[in-house]
A and B are shown apart, each in its own frame.
Chain A
Amino acid sequence: MAQSPVPKATRLVKKVGLGAWLTALAADNDVMAPVTVDGKPLFRWIGAGEVGQLDLAAVHTVNSPKGGVMPQTEPMLTYSAVQDGSGGKTLDIKPAAEDRPAVLFGVRPCDAAAIDLVGKVYLTGEFTDEQYQARRDRTTVVAIACAAPAKACFCTSFDLNPGAARGADVVLYGRSGPGSVAEGDAYYAIAYTERGEAFLGGAAAKAAGVSDLPAGERDKLEKIVAAFRGLATPLGKKLGKIDVADKLEGLFESAYWEKVSSRCLSCATCTFVCPTCYCFGVADTGAGGQGVRFRYWDFCKSPQFMLMAGGHDPRPAKKNRTRQRFLHKLNYHHNRCGEYLCVGCGRCVESCPVGLHLPLVVSDVRGLQP
């Protein structure tokens, strides 16, 4: 499944220039980057003034950058009652105005791959989500390879690694290679898409002193990239390659789901921090004949998720809903699209208050009698 991506352009980015680069970008783009707020690393839209809080050392932000292409609350259309030509009233519907171009800066390879994975849901199949497409097309994803994967990382359990380029327009590789988080004075920046190429050659990049690769460093760059791509991940080593899709076929009725779901709090923490969760709801808000229809992140752990008007609920208990989450990620999506709906970022491991996470379920399922 993983093909070696072909670099389209290579540059050198000095760390001292990063601040200027982001400040210049923030003039014409919405910039999302990792910042540490009260001790928690978060991905958020930053203003030019917050560039100084950039924290590229945090391998694991609490939330993922998926909000950059899939906002938690996204207006789809506005409606307003207007007079029609013949003295009556009609409705004026306008698709939501487009936001500015965006740059998601400092995304990890797992998160970039997740953007591609989820993008397939929105962009392929019988219908294409034009709003998502337009947003994706005006977003540049700048990833940074992980110098030191965190304890809960397991991207290598899927077709990924700490230097992978899937879903990224540009990937930054620390010039002194992996192993030291605060290493080196610069990054090798490799563009893998036309958008990335244009980004590295743009005015903001030039203003930040993004320069050509110094003569004679081509070999070093290739070794460094290979080193990042060959890094192991701690939890990935423990889990090995994920292989449970087939076994799960026969486990729908297993008593396991009742046991493992009993401690679930039915909150949305895992779903909302997860970069590959994409379910949404639709709601209207307005008054006096005008308003907005928007979509918002929803979560299958919610008791209201499948609840129908009239009271019928196909998933009435925690057992059903917990089972849905893990079967969707590890079996249904795999059957439908040929890959697991997980990139091994480890956020569910770090965020679930009761430790009900994907690696646990994988490891339990492997041990279950069919």
Chain B
Amino acid sequence: MPKSLALDPKKMKEAEAALRTQAAKLLSEGTVTVFLGHEEGWDGLPVPFFATTPGEAKRLVWNPLVAFNLAKYLLDRLTGEEKVGIVVNGCGSLALDRLLKDRRFPRERLFVVGIPCTGLLDPDKVLALPDEARQTALEGGKAEPGLFLKRCGWCDAPNPVVADVVLGEKVPEEAVPQQYPRVEEIEKMSPAERAAHFKTLYEKCIRCFACRNVCPACSCRECSLDQWEPLWLGKATVPSEQLMYHFIRAFDVAGRCIRCGECERVCSVGVPLMELNDKLMKDITELFGVQRPHVPADVEPLGQWTEGDADLEAAH
């Protein structure tokens, strides 16, 4: 758990005020025509919100529950020339950087407001708390490690990697070695145990595609797994098709996963999807020596071919 994880609701409230001012300014000056952020939704749970007027900018929130990767919504705004504003913290900026490095949205059309992050809480867990405990966490800043978003546990990028303006002081960065304990447990299983493990887990999948749709590494205009011609992925929700969907998707994002875990978080039936992604990240570290596989690079290890690549050697 990074030492920098110290929830600071007071600082976040200050950042929220600065964010509202900044977004209102961008909108009133016409620098952007829309600002992607969050607002308070039903029941205190923040939801993605796209402000189009300075008045609407006043509804933007910044608090310990703003877990969404807003960058994905840029794909709804590909046509047109107008500039889009967006607020990102550390992991949010990784998601944005992923889309930028995948050349899915032009940087010139963005105005990025960055806010350094000291941790976010899991909205579902927090809202399930009794009122007093919830208040202690959200306003008092006292939260057990288990209340944080999973990704905060391995976060080594609390400061935005992309920003036109940064609100608040930088958070001291620390090296957090990426570890994959669950993957190591599964690797110890026999093939038969592993087969049973994956079959049992993926039987629960209802093929809703929430995981794919929320993933910043999944940004194809037409997903091959939606195609009818050819029908790569059959429509039947049987174990063979379920495993194929998830394994193919894990390989498609391999090397580009930012380890945000949003796929797991939005899964309504609780499939631990990150097991697959973590396994591939561990492999990438071991095979190619990439220590921080979750941070977008200009060219990813699987996006290049180099003589002397470890996996080529192994094949010989």
A–B proximity contact (CB within 8 A): yes
- Which A residues fall within an 8 A CB radius of B? 37-40, 42, 62-63, 72-73, 262-263, 265-269, 271-273, 281, 283, 285, 294, 296-297, 299, 302-304, 318, 349, 351, 353-357, 359-360
> Are A353 and B214 in contact (CB-based, < 8 A)?
yes
Interface centre among A37, A39, A303 (most CB of B within 10 A): A37
Q: Other than the known A39-B270, A40-B269, what 6 A-B pairs have Cβ atoms closer than 8 Å? A: A73-B238, A269-B266, A273-B268, A283-B231, A283-B236, A360-B42
> Are A42 and B204 in contact (CB-based, < 8 A)?
yes
Q: How far is B207's CA from A283's CA once the two chains are assembled, in angstroms?
A: 16
> Are B204 and A37 in contact (CB-based, < 8 A)?
yes
Within 8 A of A (CB), among B12-29: none
Q: How far is B213's CA from A356's CA once the two chains are assembled, in angstroms?
A: 15
> Are B73 and A268 in contact (CB-based, < 8 A)?
no
Q: Out of A38, A268, A281, which one reaches B206, CB within 8 Å?
A: A268
Chain B residues with CB under 8 A of A349: 42
Chain B residues with CB under 8 A of A283: 231, 234-236
Chain A residues with CB under 8 A of B179: none
Q: Is the interface of B mostly helix, strand, loop or mixed?
A: loop
State the Cβ distance, B126 to closest chain A Cβ, in Å.
14
> Are B206 and A40 in contact (CB-based, < 8 A)?
no
Does B50 count as interface, using CB distance less than 8 angstroms? Answer: yes
Q: How far is B220's CA from A303's CA once the two chains are assembled, in angstroms?
A: 13
By beta carbon, the residue of chain B nearest A266 is B213
> Are B234 and A272 in contact (CB-based, < 8 A)?
no
Chain B residues with CB under 8 A of A39: 270
State the Cβ distance, B295 to closest chain A Cβ, in Å.
24
Does B141 count as interface, using CB distance less than 8 angstroms? Answer: no
Within 8 A of A (CB), among B224-240: 226, 228, 231, 234-238
Chain B interface bracket (under 10, 10 to 19, 20 to 34, 35 or more): 20 to 34
Within 8 A of A (CB), among B41-80: 41-42, 45, 47-50, 68, 72-73, 76
State the Cβ distance, B269 to closest chain A Cβ, in Å.
6
By beta carbon, the residue of chain A nearest B34 is A262
> Are A272 and B208 in contact (CB-based, < 8 A)?
yes
Chain A residues with CB under 8 A of B266: 265, 267, 269, 353
> Are B206 and A72 in contact (CB-based, < 8 A)?
yes
By beta carbon, the residue of chain A nearest B272 is A38
Chain A residues with CB under 8 A of B269: 40, 42, 62-63
Q: A283-B234, A304-B226, A355-B41 are in contact. Are A267 and B210 (CB under 8 A)?
A: yes
> Are B236 and A354 in contact (CB-based, < 8 A)?
no
**Which 10 A-B pairs rank lowest in CB-CB distance, beginning with the nearest?**
A267-B210, A268-B208, A353-B266, A263-B48, A40-B270, A355-B47, A265-B213, A355-B41, A73-B236, A351-B268
State the Cβ distance, B272 to closest chain A Cβ, in Å.
8
State the Cβ distance, A240 to closest chain B Cβ, in Å.
16
> Are A354 and B206 in contact (CB-based, < 8 A)?
no
Q: How far is B271's CA from A269's CA once the two chains are assembled, in angstroms?
A: 14
By beta carbon, the residue of chain A nearest B49 is A263
> Are B268 and A269 in contact (CB-based, < 8 A)?
yes
Q: How far is B75's CA from A266's CA once the two chains are assembled, in angstroms?
A: 13
Does B209 count as interface, using CB distance less than 8 angstroms? Answer: yes
Q: How far is B76's CA from A296's CA once the two chains are assembled, in angstroms?
A: 28
> Are B210 and A265 in contact (CB-based, < 8 A)?
yes
Chain B residues with CB under 8 A of A351: 268
State the Cβ distance, A63 to closest chain B Cβ, in Å.
7
Q: How far is B228's CA from A273's CA once the two chains are assembled, in angstroms?
A: 25
Q: A263-B48, A265-B213, A318-B76 are in contact. Are A359 and B204 (CB under 8 A)?
A: no
> Are B47 and A38 in contact (CB-based, < 8 A)?
no
By beta carbon, the residue of chain A nearest B271 is A38
Q: How far is B266's CA from A262's CA once the two chains are assembled, in angstroms?
A: 17
Chain B residues with CB under 8 A of A269: 206, 208, 210, 266, 268
Chain B residues with CB under 8 A of A42: 204, 269
Chain A residues with CB under 8 A of B234: 283, 285
A-B contact pairs, 10 of them (CB 8 A): A38-B270, A72-B206, A73-B235, A262-B76, A263-B50, A265-B213, A269-B208, A272-B206, A297-B237, A353-B214
Q: Out of A37, A265, A304, A357, which one reaches B214, CB within 8 Å?
A: A265
Chain A residues with CB under 8 A of B50: 262-263
> Are A73 and B237 in contact (CB-based, < 8 A)?
yes
Chain B residues with CB under 8 A of A353: 210, 214, 265-266
State the Cβ distance, A173 to closest chain B Cβ, in Å.
28
> Are B237 and A357 in contact (CB-based, < 8 A)?
no
> Are B268 and A296 in contact (CB-based, < 8 A)?
no
Chain B residues with CB under 8 A of A268: 206-210
Chain B residues with CB under 8 A of A37: 204, 270
Q: A265-B213, A268-B209, A272-B208 are in contact. Are A354 and B48 (CB under 8 A)?
A: yes
Chain B residues with CB under 8 A of A281: 235
State the Cβ distance, A109 to closest chain B Cβ, in Å.
22
Q: How far is B210's CA from A274's CA once the two chains are assembled, in angstroms?
A: 15
Q: How far is B233's CA from A283's CA once the two chains are assembled, in angstroms?
A: 12
Interface membership of chain B positions 272-283, coded 1 if the CB is closer than 8 angstroms to chain A and 0 otherwise:
100000000000
By beta carbon, the residue of chain B nearest A261 is B76
> Are B213 and A285 in contact (CB-based, < 8 A)?
no
Q: How far is B236's CA from A304's CA once the two chains are assembled, in angstroms?
A: 16
By beta carbon, the residue of chain B nearest A363 is B42
Chain A residues with CB under 8 A of B204: 37, 42
Q: How far is B237's CA from A294's CA once the two chains are assembled, in angstroms?
A: 11
Q: How far is B76's CA from A303's CA once the two chains are assembled, in angstroms?
A: 13
Q: Out of A40, A72, A266, which one reaches B237, CB within 8 Å?
A: A72
Within 8 A of A (CB), among B191-235: 204, 206-210, 212-214, 226, 228, 231, 234-235
